[in-house]
Structure 1
Amino acid sequence: MSSGSSNSSNLFANANPPDVNDIRNLNIYERVPVHLSQMDSSYYAWKTYFSLVFREYHLLDHVDGSIDSSLVPDFHDWSPLTPCSSGGSSSPSRQQEFFGCHQGNSSVDDYCRRLKTLADELRDIGANIDDDLLLSTLTAGLNKDFRNAAVNLTLIPEPSFAKFVAYLRLEERRMKQVKARAIHTALTAGTTRGGPPSPPVAPATPPQQRHPAT
């Protein structure tokens, strides 16, 4: 095989291998100013910043799994990373996970964060996940303790994901306080009425009759 053919199969033939020390000293917080948040759609911007960094250091093909590192002997310090882009998982499986997402025993924060992450990933690959669908899926996945809260969510003016999360947090806190008061009341009642029984009172000893002295 000619050298030209060999170079065409090697995507890094004309690239300068990144220096491992440069990568280790990279301040990613300065290069990626966007933080993932459950309150807004930040996933796409966050991923874009990371993609720019990967491109600059010629690492994008290692991250998305599109290159076989065995073709790049000069990159022996780098091993292929598990694909972490949205293309690493199929859209149908992600959609199934999104629509089947339920709160279960999770906290409000954990449940909402998981659902929001799935929605952002689906939007990033072109799925039509609008706010109405996100909010209806969130409401449908709440556990039975939040049945009354789910009804109240429909009454929120200008509904948004942030408003729903804020209300559910308040409701979760209220339910914890009610449960704590109920436990305290039960313990107090048990101490008052269910304490150990008093020992039986011994019958009075009849007075001894005195016989007159003879």
Structure 2
Amino acid sequence: MKSVVIKPLLFLLCLLPLAMIAWSGWQGGLGANPIEALSHRTGDWALRFLLITLAVTPLVKLFGWSWLMRLRRILGLFCFFYATLHMANYVVLDQFFAWSEIIADVIKRPYITVGLATYLLLLPLAVTSTNAMMRRLGKRWKQLHSLIYPASMLAVIHFLWLVKADLREPMIYGMILLLLLGYRLIFRQQKKL
């Protein structure tokens, strides 16, 4: 299938979680605390898209699916899109632009501090994702985009510290991340031999 067809289909597929969240909200399915539910759902999808984006390179190397590389940018931008919705939910709906409260939260609550750091690491990746920025930055583009690794680690820590009782879900995400990063380390070591 050509990328002319695949990219629009992937774009629509990536919007499906947003449509499901909106439908759930329309049907009153966000529970007693809809702002918290929105925060969790958008955060979950940001993390999922981050891990899916990181999975592209191992899938290409293991199975030779080079066509996936053309889709990595869309996946990464949807990660940022859901992370922005997650952040906007906190700033606009949860805190109503109360900047002094937001600053106090960032200082007082480590999971919010780590979440903000994650978002700030993802921001330059989204801004420099265009072909023009790739050309302009040259070799520095790849160095800059290696920020995805600390961002992914911080995203998992953010989720882990947010959860108070049942750690299974953040631990699953953590294990997936370890596999994805571990694969990269092994691949780099083999290239050196």
Q: Which has the higher helix share?
A: 2
- TM-score band, normalised by the shorter chain? under 0.3
Q: Which has the larger radius of gyration?
A: 1
Report the TM-score, using the length of structure 1 for normalisation.
0.25
Which structure has more RCO (C-alpha within 8 Å, separation ≥ 6)? 2
Report the TM-score, using the length of structure 2 for normalisation.
0.26
